[in-house]
A and B are shown apart, each in its own frame.
Chain A
Amino acid sequence: MEGVEQAPVFSLRYVWEQERLLATVMIAPAVLYVVALIGFPFVLAIVYSLSDATTGDPALRLVGLRTFGLVLRDPVFLKALQNTFVFTLASQVLVLVLAKILALVLMEDFPGKRLVRFLILLPWTAPISLSAIGWLWIFDSVFSPIDWIARSLGLLGGPEALLGSEPNLYWLGRPFLAMASVILVQTWRILPLATVILLAGLTAIPRDILDAAQVDGAGFWRRLFQVIMPMLLPVMSIAFLFGFVFTFTDMTVVYVLTRGGPVNSTQVLASWAFFKGIEAGDLAQGAAVALFFFPALAGVTTLILLVARRAEVS
């Protein structure tokens, strides 16, 4: 009798019922993934930043914080840090405002709504390096269609023209316009995702509550700012967080459109770390620059998660 009741120690069933063991086994791949692809490079970056390694001489000689001193004294680094914040904040604020408008429009019923939804999602599906080439043409110093339109409207190229007497604006050749261009393209790039996130948030607001606000006498703006926005706050902060982290650490648009120019006026941390560490071969400085992501992103993430949490709890 005893033998029947007691399960053999190593039967499959026995292992299956050991929850701790099972949990460990199941979570292991995720832990492995994080350690291999995030933890290891992170530690390596710290180690490199404390050394004077270059691609020509990758031997690790620890030199303490000397590399950080070099980086911090470099005016291009400070410019890139400032640019990163301008680039990220400007594009993400634009994204939030535009995504909000688009989501509201897409909530309404109108003919062709499905087509418009499809078109808005399109940029998200196109590879950015490919579509950036399209933008390169739009901002071309000679053939820019924007300039062409401005010229034919008489806004550009004439002696008294509003936008200047030269035949072109040279979008990517002037510091201010170059920054505006990369911000515009980044906005265009993140907009679809943000719109879809906000649309999901809007759809989740019960219709009764919006109807109640109407019956209670609230007009469009009051409904938007006193009912819809507060209820959408958690979702909006998540959308902002995604866009912020994504944009802060990304260099694709800058790399393809301006390569940081003219004269570093669109240089951002990511592109600067890349140019320093890979193209110029200074691994130590590249790693040190990249490490500046960490405090900024940790700070922003904590802040936004706190906002989202507060909005949810209260």
Chain B
Amino acid sequence: MAQVQVTGITKYFGEVKVLDNVNLATRKHEFLVLLGPSGCGKTTLLRIIAGLERPTRGEVLIGGREVTGLPPRARNIAMVFQSYALYPHMTVFENISFPLRTQNMNRDAIQEKVAWAAGLFGIDRLLERKPRELSGGERQRVALARAIVRMPTVFLLDEPLSNLDAKLRASAREELQTFQKRIGITTIYVTHDQVEAMGLGNRIVVMDQGRVRQIGTPLQVYWEPADTFVATFVGSPPMNLVEQGEVLMGFRPEDFLPIEGREEEDVERFQFEVTWVENLGAERLVYGNMAFQSRNGRVVSRLAPNIRVSLEAGKTYIFAVPRLGIKLFDRNTGMLLRRVSGVGG
């Protein structure tokens, strides 16, 4: 049974359609990531699941029970806000215990649960402090502890790492995942950062302009993007797209490599005119044009450091893509076309 299921969710703010017929269902113990650019409706969808916003159309089911019209407190969900939303006038202890106090739990049980949640995130020694006396990382842990303390059915997280600096973010990501595995609570995690999504999610829901573009595992989303939006949103640098008659041909930069030493593989060859080489240490990014293309032929190749071929701007080389790495998209709709063999080049 799906812990969270939303069917046909459409949401208007006034005249503006912010969500358009969104359907998704989480699996038990799953870490589901909602990924999409800023403004695509991720927060709105999360708020609808939490009950903070009412959908214009559609239904929300939590644990198999329809909760569409119910207020947040009737849903037993927990949410971590992007701003953390800690209560500024309460100590850390009072913050974490707040969801328990609303259930009129007795004092001893509250003590015990707060100690457990605080221990889980290593913030035991901060319990007497006020939020203003905490660092960004500590606040984030308090917010997580407050969310987890009453063991909700579902855990909703809205860009919880975006206020941390890059270094903290990496370790917080790791902790978050270990913690979720240990507790096993179904989690919906919102982010606009595709690296975060790829690293954290059991499955990723890619959204754009209020619509779900694809739901799949990180590998599916990366290697079998459902359309050109997903192809170019996921991956850095994104998938190359070049026009070829009625279709768009797509391939990943790391699949687009010099021909040397790969002659016997099943590959498609291209003339590649290099315009610029960017050496980033761990990899080289090579920018240039497909020779057969007059327009929209700019592509990029990503070379691992073990590929030592020397490449110079201004010269043309033979590059190749494995046939399996080539995706074809409809030029008008952007949708992935089923595999067609024999791509001319």
Q: How far is the CB of B240 from chain A (nearest CB, A)?
A: 40
Q: Please indicate the chain A residues that have their CB under 8 angstroms from the CB of B89 in the complex.
A: 230-231, 311, 314
Known: A215-B79, A217-B73, A314-B130. A222 touches B102 (CB 8 A): yes
- The reply to whether the CB of B188 lies closer than 8 angstroms to some CB of chain A is no
State in angstroms the CA–CA spacing of A209 and B51 once bound together.
15
**Are the CB atoms of B85 and A211 closer together than 8 Å?**
yes
**Are the CB atoms of A212 and B88 closer together than 8 Å?**
no
- The reply to whether the CB of A227 lies closer than 8 angstroms to some CB of chain B is yes
**Are the CB atoms of A206 and B102 closer together than 8 Å?**
no
**Are the CB atoms of B87 and A214 closer together than 8 Å?**
no
Q: How far is the CB of A214 from chain B (nearest CB, A)?
A: 5
Known: A219-B73, A222-B102, A314-B130. A214 touches B52 (CB 8 A): yes
- The reply to whether the CB of A208 lies closer than 8 angstroms to some CB of chain B is yes
- The reply to whether the CB of A218 lies closer than 8 angstroms to some CB of chain B is yes
- The reply to whether the CB of A74 lies closer than 8 angstroms to some CB of chain B is no
Q: Please indicate the chain B residues that have their CB under 8 angstroms from the CB of A222 in the complex.
A: 102
State in angstroms the CA–CA spacing of A213 and B81 once bound together.
11
Q: Please indicate the chain B residues that have their CB under 8 angstroms from the CB of A219 in the complex.
A: 73, 102
Q: Please indicate the chain A residues that have their CB under 8 angstroms from the CB of B69 in the complex.
A: none
Among residues of A, the one whose C-beta sits closest to the C-beta of B71 is A214
**Are the CB atoms of B77 and A215 closer together than 8 Å?**
yes
**Are the CB atoms of B99 and A216 closer together than 8 Å?**
yes
Among residues of A, the one whose C-beta sits closest to the C-beta of B156 is A215
Q: Please indicate the chain B residues that have their CB under 8 angstroms from the CB of A206 in the complex.
A: 83, 85
Q: How far is the CB of B195 from chain A (nearest CB, A)?
A: 25
Please classify how large the interface on chain A is, using the bins under 10, 10 to 19, 20 to 34, 35 or more.
10 to 19
**Are the CB atoms of B52 and A211 closer together than 8 Å?**
yes
User: Which residue of B72, B73, B85 contacts A209 across the interface (Cβ within 8 Å)?
Assistant: B85
State in angstroms the CA–CA spacing of A5 and B214 once bound together.
72
Known: A206-B85, A208-B85. A215 touches B52 (CB 8 A): yes
Among residues of B, the one whose C-beta sits closest to the C-beta of A208 is B85
Q: Please indicate the chain B residues that have their CB under 8 angstroms from the CB of A214 in the complex.
A: 51-52, 71-73
Q: Please indicate the chain A residues that have their CB under 8 angstroms from the CB of B42 in the complex.
A: none
**Are the CB atoms of A215 and B83 closer together than 8 Å?**
no
Q: How far is the CB of B286 from chain A (nearest CB, A)?
A: 45
Those of B37-66 within 8 Å (CB) of chain A: 47, 50-52
State in angstroms the CA–CA spacing of A216 and B147 once bound together.
8
**Are the CB atoms of B85 and A212 closer together than 8 Å?**
yes
**Are the CB atoms of B81 and A212 closer together than 8 Å?**
yes
**Are the CB atoms of A215 and B88 closer together than 8 Å?**
no
Spell out B's residues near A (CB within 8 Å). 47, 50-52, 71-73, 77-79, 81-83, 85-89, 98-99, 102-103, 130, 146
Nearest 4 pairs between A and B by C-beta?
A: A217-B102, A208-B85, A212-B85, A216-B99
Contacts A208-B82, A215-B51, A217-B72 supplied; 18 other A-B pairs, CB < 8 Å:
A211-B47, A211-B52, A211-B72, A211-B79, A211-B81, A212-B85, A213-B87, A214-B51, A214-B71, A215-B50, A215-B72, A215-B77, A217-B73, A218-B98, A226-B98, A231-B87, A311-B89, A314-B89
